[in-house]
Amino acid sequence: MNYSEITPYIKELAALSDASNHIAPEMYAQHDVKRGLRDINGNGVVAGLTEVSHIKAKEIDAEGNAVPCAGQLYYRGVNVRSLVKGFVADNRPGFEETVYLLLFSKLPTKDELDAFCEQLSLYRSLPPSFVRDMILKAPGKDMMNILSRSVLALYAYDDNPDDISTANILRQCLQLIAEFPLLAVYGYQSFQHYHNGQSLFIHYPKKELNTAENLLYILREDGQYTPLEAELLDLALVLHAEHGGGNNSTFTTHVVTSSGTDTYSAISAALGSLKGPRHGGANIKVMQMFDDMKASINTKDKDAVKDYLVRLLDKQAFDKAGLIYGMGHAVYSLSDPRATVFRGFVEKLSKEKGLTKDYQLCSTIERLAPEIIARERKIYKGVSANIDFYSGFIYNMLGLPKELFTPIFAISRIAGWSAHRMEELLLNGKIIRPAYQNISPRAPYIPLDERK
């Protein structure tokens, strides 16, 4: 039997399944149900309270109306722009400081930060034989699945996996934050070796390196990287670390945590959410779109770029999905603060890598796309470049394999997930159980021999 075969009978059942769904999109408005937990204006339905982060995309004018404003993102009340400005001015990494802030709601002193980094360094290892038994012996083709499987496997190596006391949950979260780069990169190395026939090498992390530096060190065969490369990857980790409690993977963390389950199950569920192309895989789509554009048109011709963007929206170019990837956001309208912070650093890296032409194309698309979208689509708010528009470009310039784009997102976002898991458990609230409104008609039971 072919395990993956879709047989004629399965196809028949699939057709029956398709025909059995009679819910039309307009029914949501008829029954006043917020589809996707969002109202007609795209605002999320409030499902809880959080102190972890805040997104600001609107402000109240003198007449009391909510109007779009330049996007702002706050981690525990601290503006991310200020956070980045602080550690960049000091010429030091910021991810570890960001993790501390998200978990403990305060900026660490130098001594506190040093002690915290030392603890993460101690946790930056895997159980004996874990790489051999759980990663190399079962190589996979999808890095997010390997990462999720590895997280679940760590449950078996934990002497107290189901203890949900604050100390134990914190210990588990810190270990996962430290281990995620190893799990992701080693999973990629096994994929490269067993599926692509590449040489296998496993670098152990160095105690003196931070998260971004270690990620580059263990990923590259020669272990080499420039200070700017490490700085940009560290910045990417900071900007992806958290983004409000309402994004899909963070909400998943809250929902699964509210059941009282273990940390490994909750984080694995969040990884499953992040894997989806509507959530964590968007930056890959951005780079694929760029590649298709460069192969299809003369990107130096502004009119040709305009025409390509129109054809994207008309489902006549690239993947024919009708989207300009990297443009627009569920909350932000005038600007995504993370993309704004990224922009200047992207230009700096493009010069180091000799890719200024690619950066110029990036800038052209960022300028033209909102105008074209506003003209071709009926939209309820403004459109601007989001973080995926730039993060994919940065990862590509860093020479990071596309297979690791979403896992790197996870390496960062595990910080936010951990903060939200801690918050959910400390609240000791009820299990999250949303309601669905049933609209199917009642039907009589028909005896088996009378059915047609």
CATH code of the domain covering residue 94: 1.10.580.10
| Interaxial angle between packed helices 80-89 and 227-240, expressed in degrees from 0 to 180 and rounded to the nearest 10 | 160
In angstroms, the CA 431 to CA 450 distance is 43
CATH code of the domain covering residue 347: 1.10.230.10
- The residues with which 60 forms a beta bridge, in sequence order, are 66
Q: What is the pLDDT of residue 63?
A: 83
Classify residue 153: in a domain, yes or no. yes
Whole-number average pLDDT of the chain: 93
* Residues 119, 203 within the same domain: yes
Q: Which pLDDT tens digit goes with each residue over 213-233?
A: 999 999 999 999 999 999 999
Section 86-100 average pLDDT: 98
In angstroms, the CA 95 to CA 105 distance is 15
- The pLDDT > 90 percentage for the chain reads 77
* Residues 263, 293 within the same domain: no
Classify residue 15: in a domain, yes or no. no
* Residues 195, 267 within the same domain: yes
In angstroms, the CA 334 to CA 385 distance is 9
* Residues 240, 372 within the same domain: no
In angstroms, the CA 367 to CA 384 distance is 9
Classify residue 198: in a domain, yes or no. yes
Q: What is the pLDDT of residue 451?
A: 94
Classify residue 46: in a domain, yes or no. no
Residue positions counted in the chain: 452
Residues 6+ apart with CB under 8 A from 82: none
- Secondary structure (3-state) at 399: coil
Contact 271, 147 (CB under 8 A): yes
The answer, yes or no, to whether residue 249 has pLDDT greater than 70, is yes
- The pLDDT > 70 percentage for the chain reads 99
Look at residues 376, 397, 418 and tell me which one is the last residue of a structural domain.
397
In angstroms, the CA 173 to CA 104 distance is 13
Classify residue 26: in a domain, yes or no. no
Q: What is the pLDDT of residue 380?
A: 61
* Residues 310, 259 within the same domain: no
Classify residue 168: in a domain, yes or no. yes
| Location of structure tokens 């398709």 | 18
In angstroms, the CA 144 to CA 284 distance is 13
* Residues 254, 387 within the same domain: no
Section 229-238 average pLDDT: 97
The Cβ of residue 109 has, within 10 Å, a number of other Cβ atoms equal to: 9
Q: What is the pLDDT of residue 202?
A: 96
The terminus-to-terminus CA distance of the chain in angstroms comes to: 32
Q: Which pLDDT tens digit goes with each residue over 350-371?
A: 999 999 999 999 999 999 999 9
* Residues 298, 354 within the same domain: yes
In angstroms, the CA 388 to CA 143 distance is 19
Strand ranges across the sheet with 78-79: 53-60, 66-75, 78-79
* Residues 376, 325 within the same domain: yes
Residue 423: pLDDT band by 50, 70, 90 thresholds? very high
Tokens of 266: 């909750």
Half-sphere exposure of 373 (CA within 13 A, CB side): 22
Classify residue 97: in a domain, yes or no. yes
In angstroms, the CA 442 to CA 147 distance is 44
- φ, ψ (nearest 5 deg) of residue 305: -65, -45
Q: What is the pLDDT of residue 282?
A: 83
In angstroms, the CA 381 to CA 318 distance is 25
pTM of the model: 0.93
Domain count, the chain: 2
Could you list the active site residues?
279, 329, 388
* Residues 146, 258 within the same domain: yes
* Residues 264, 343 within the same domain: no
Q: What is the pLDDT of residue 145?
A: 96
Q: Which pLDDT tens digit goes with each residue over 37-88?
A: 777 767 788 888 999 999 998 888 888 888 888 899 999 999 999 999 999 9
Residue 162: pLDDT band by 50, 70, 90 thresholds? very high
- The residues with which 54 forms a beta bridge, in sequence order, are 74
Which helix (H) or strand (E) segment is 300 a member of?
none
Q: What is the pLDDT of residue 21?
A: 84
* Residues 210, 257 within the same domain: yes
Q: Which pLDDT tens digit goes with each residue over 310-344?
A: 999 999 999 999 999 999 888 888 899 999 999 88
Quickly list DSSP for 196-211.
H-PPP--PPPPTTS-H
Q: What is the pLDDT of residue 28?
A: 86
- Secondary structure (3-state) at 343: helix
Half-sphere exposure of 361 (CA within 13 A, CB side): 23
Rounded to 5°, the CA angle 57-60-61 comes to: 125
The answer, yes or no, to whether residue 269 has pLDDT greater than 90, is yes
* Residues 247, 172 within the same domain: yes
- Secondary structure (3-state) at 79: strand
Classify residue 433: in a domain, yes or no. no
Q: What is the pLDDT of residue 427?
A: 87
Burial class (CB in 10 A: 0-12, 13-18, 19+), 142: middle
Domain hosting residue 143, numbered range: 72-277+404-427
